[in-house]
Structure 1
């Protein structure tokens, strides 16, 4: 059984945007709105985690001797 491909950051962001627009329209049954809201919250958590990981990666600079040091933005 093939594993499901993980969605990219951009795909998750686009899906979250669609959910927000759907909920803002007000044309969603309460039960569906709750389900969409929960789905949106899970996507939001994934996106935040991805951004946090990217920030941690960008904050580190690899020195010539391959040691990592924290970036002290000047």
Structure 2
């Protein structure tokens, strides 16, 4: 794969990820893991899937962290009958 192809593929993945819900992206990540566990996948295809999976996992991690921080900000100063920090 040429260097330009990798950059184009990464940009396509990012655009696709922006239009999909978190659940859809998580489902895609699970699909990638299942594909990588198969022995019949070629090395080249495995590397492509692995690269997509790593980018997807990092994007999901960032989004979940942003959501956790947003919940923390919303609940700061709110008096609740339980410790909300145990929830996040």
TM bin, normalised by shorter chain, reads: 0.7 to 0.9
For 2:27, the equivalent position in structure 1 comes to: 14
- 1:59 maps to which of 72, 75, 78: 72
Normalised by the length of structure 2, the TM-score is: 0.64
Q: State the 4+ residue runs in structure 1 displaced beyond 6 angstroms.
A: none
What stretches of structure 1 of length at least 5 have no aligned partner? 65-70
> What is the SS of the residue equivalent to 2:50?
helix
User: 1:6 offset after TM fit, Å?
Assistant: 1.5
Normalised by the length of structure 1, the TM-score is: 0.75
User: 1:41 offset after TM fit, Å?
Assistant: 0.4
Larger proportion of helix:
2
For residues 35 and 23 of structure 2, what CA distance do their matches in structure 1 show? 18
What stretches of structure 2 of length at least 5 have no aligned partner? 1-14
